[in-house]
Structure 1
Amino acid sequence: MNNYELMVIFTPVLSDDEFKNEQRKFAALVTENGGQIVAENAWGLKSLAYPIQKKTTGLYWVTEYQASSDFNEKLKIQLLRDESVLRHMITKLDKYAVEYNAKKRSGVPTGTEKLEEVKNG
């Protein structure tokens, strides 16, 4: 089992319920294929750096999961088939990224927060 992070940008025309249903659908896809959801974070509506399909905003959703490497191809196909998905990105996480994300979720200061503390004295 490898660790991955999935970021999906959904079309901004989705209602809150539709947005949550899309999140549940892809989270269920991970668990149905033997994977495990580690963390989910719905960022909500954000501006896009450039227009995608004539839209300037999108609904962002980030999830960290564990799955076998062959599962990502299935996930990618489902993401490409879904009309509500504007863009997606799957990133394989190394042990340092997994550790960093776990510390960030638990509230333990990471390297960047420690730098800020030193700067602000």
Structure 2
Amino acid sequence: MAKEQLYEMVVIFDAQGDEADIRREIDLVSSLVEKRSSEFIGKADWGLRNFAYPIKKRTSGQYVYYLFRAGIEVPALLSSALKMDEKVLRYLIIRAKSNAKQYLEDIQNKAQPEAVQESVEEDKAIAESEKIEETSTAVEEAESADEVTETPSDDNVNEEGASAQEDSEEAGDAEGTADEEKDSND
């Protein structure tokens, strides 16, 4: 029997189309890997990702990571099968390092907390928007209360309640009478 190696494979599936079609294609490749390998260790769905540049006129794809143990002839068989699949945009099969199993476990464990983290972040965003709405409502209420209780400015009113303009007119009249008295005395 041929010597077996630990392999990693990443497949990028065409994300165009129905979610069920994509899942069916992922399951098809998974079953192919399970049949060809002596030990199928696991897979991790990396999700939909945007490309840095278009691949086969597509700008995004569904990434799936596979880890398996197989004979040295299996990567060539998988490669020929994946080349014929129209839904596979790209793939890469390499020999895995010894820590690949730990990596797969980390990916699978990380995927669950991310979903929880996303829901927590959504809750925070909702609470923040509600807080902003409450603050804006309070500001509007305070502004409307200021408009209702607004009083005339004290700058133009003296102690007796007369305006500053009236005071200046009276002062001008007093000066005018003083000038008239001066003229009559001369």
* Interval of TM-score (by shorter of Structure 1 and Structure 2): 0.7 to 0.9
Aligned residues: 106
Question: Paired residue for 1:98?
Answer: 100
Q: 1:29 aligns with which of 28, 32, 43?
A: 32
Question: Paired residue for 1:8?
Answer: 11
TM-score, structure 2 normalization: 0.52
- SS of residue paired to 1:83: coil
- Output the CA distance in 2 between the equivalents of 1:103 and 1:34: 19
CA drift of 1:103 comes to: 5.8
Higher relative contact order structure (alpha carbons within 8 Å, sequence separation ≥ 6): 1
What runs of 5+ residues in structure 2 fail to find an aligned partner?
110-186
- Greater percentage in strand: 1
- Output the CA distance in 2 between the equivalents of 1:99 and 1:38: 8
Q: 1:48 aligns with which of 28, 48, 51?
A: 51
- SS of residue paired to 1:13: coil
**Cα separation, partners in 2 of 1:49 and 1:77, compared to 1, 3 Å:** same
> C-alpha root-mean-square deviation of aligned residues, in Å?
1.9
CA drift of 1:24 comes to: 1.6
Conservation of the 8 A alpha-carbon contact between 1:30 and 1:67: no
CA drift of 1:15 comes to: 2.0
- SS of residue paired to 2:28: helix
What runs of 5+ residues in structure 1 fail to find an aligned partner?
108-121
- Output the CA distance in 2 between the equivalents of 1:98 and 1:72: 17
- Output the CA distance in 2 between the equivalents of 1:103 and 1:62: 12
- Output the CA distance in 2 between the equivalents of 1:103 and 1:6: 15
**Cα separation, partners in 2 of 1:46 and 1:37, compared to 1, 3 Å:** same
- SS of residue paired to 2:60: strand
- Aligned residues: percent identity? 26
CA drift of 1:39 comes to: 1.7
Structure with higher Rg: it is: 2
Conservation of the 8 A alpha-carbon contact between 1:44 and 1:61: yes
- Output the CA distance in 1 between the equivalents of 2:12 and 2:107: 22
- Output the CA distance in 1 between the equivalents of 2:12 and 2:104: 23
- Output the CA distance in 1 between the equivalents of 2:33 and 2:58: 28
CA drift of 1:35 comes to: 2.6
Conservation of the 8 A alpha-carbon contact between 1:6 and 1:88: yes
- Output the CA distance in 2 between the equivalents of 1:105 and 1:53: 28
CA drift of 1:98 comes to: 2.5
Conservation of the 8 A alpha-carbon contact between 1:2 and 1:92: yes
Question: Paired residue for 1:38?
Answer: 41
TM-score, structure 1 normalization: 0.76
CA drift of 1:36 comes to: 2.2
Conservation of the 8 A alpha-carbon contact between 2:44 and 2:104: no
- SS of residue paired to 2:72: coil
